[in-house]
Amino acid sequence: MDLTYRPRRLRRSPALRSMVQEKSLSPSDFIYPLFVHEGDSVQPIGAMPGASRWHLDALIDEVKRAWGLGIKCVVLFPKVDESLKTEDGAECFNEKGLIPRAIRCLKQELPEMTIMTDVALDPYSCDGHDGIVSSDGIVLNDETIDFLCKQAVVQAQAGADLIGPSDMMDGRVGAIREALDEEGFEHVGIISYTAKYSSAYYGPFREALDSAPRATTTKIIPKDKSTYQMNPANAREAITEAQLDEQEGADILMVKPGLAYLDIIHRLRQESELPIAAYNVSGEYAMVKAAAEKGWIDEREVVLETLLSFKRAGADLILTYHACDAARWLMENKV
């Protein structure tokens, strides 16, 4: 054939492919989500093979392992005892609560590690929602924000580096920024869950924290989070959310879930100069693990390809439960 240009010329060898590769992965791209609980045992999570709920001593060892693999940031999620859950989730700003204690322990043992936190009420609420639910079943926006600000300040006081509001209340980024600044925490960043969709991919995560909405005989409880999390059908709305979060002082914008929303990551990358994060969520993780256990896919290759897709779409950072495995595989690839 008389072809002037043959794209395969640059695919002929590993060296050539590496020379023209557009995107790459590094362990420092990853943010490692970790579940924390009270007690003295490490509890495997059935719906998330390979993931566990960590007690504080074991958490320290796991974070040190992640650091040794080149991971520079972890995000903490609490499995809160049922006896501490209330309708308003006030345990979220208990200075002696699980997450503040975990942050202090980690900062004492490994001060170099960047610690991100989650700001929302669902782990602390007996209703299972990210905000306070009124007697007639409305998730209250402004009243919730007051509690989120208190939660963010307590986390910053404990030593958090990045505050991650995941609640999707309107105006919470600006309110949290103001609250942090007033308390002298101008240096603490906000990584906002900017485009967090009302997704079916969160099921294993809610099992890990026992944080799903739950029915009650005393009041109406919305069965899902669609009145505050985004409609999966909407893309332009994500731009609106991103513009608002940027105006309110967010330092990093996040898209959650990641894999089913690569188009949203790409849109935000085009619209904003801020760093973009993608959350490779529990359902995405669980599907890969289940297929790998069946022998239907090569787990290593699928995970690395998936994570690379987030970078190709425009993400700078990736929250992923695969973080340690992926970091190890990347190190092996360099040998």
Phi–psi pair at 276, nearest 5 degrees: -115, 135
- Domains in the chain with CATH codes: 24-334 (3.20.20.70)
pLDDT at 191 over 90: yes
Indicate whether this model's pTM tops 0.85.
yes
pLDDT digits (tens, 9 = 90+) for 111-126: 999 999 999 999 999 8
Confidence of residue 26 (pLDDT cuts 50, 70, 90): very high
Confidence of residue 300 (pLDDT cuts 50, 70, 90): very high
pLDDT top residue among 308 and 222: 308
**pLDDT reported for residue 170:** 97
Q: Are 305 and 298 in contact (CB under 8 A)?
A: no
Closest CA to 202 of 324, 265, 284, 293: 284
pLDDT at 217 over 80: no
Closest CA to 118 of 215, 238, 202: 202
**pLDDT reported for residue 208:** 80
Mean pLDDT of all residues belonging to the chain: 94
pLDDT digits (tens, 9 = 90+) for 31-82: 999 999 998 899 999 999 999 999 999 999 999 999 999 999 999 999 999 8
Which residues does the annotation mark as catalytic? 196, 256
Q: Are 102 and 59 in contact (CB under 8 A)?
A: yes
Instruction: Return all residues near 3 (Cβ < 8 A) that are at least 6 apart.
Output: none
Mean pLDDT of 239-252: 98
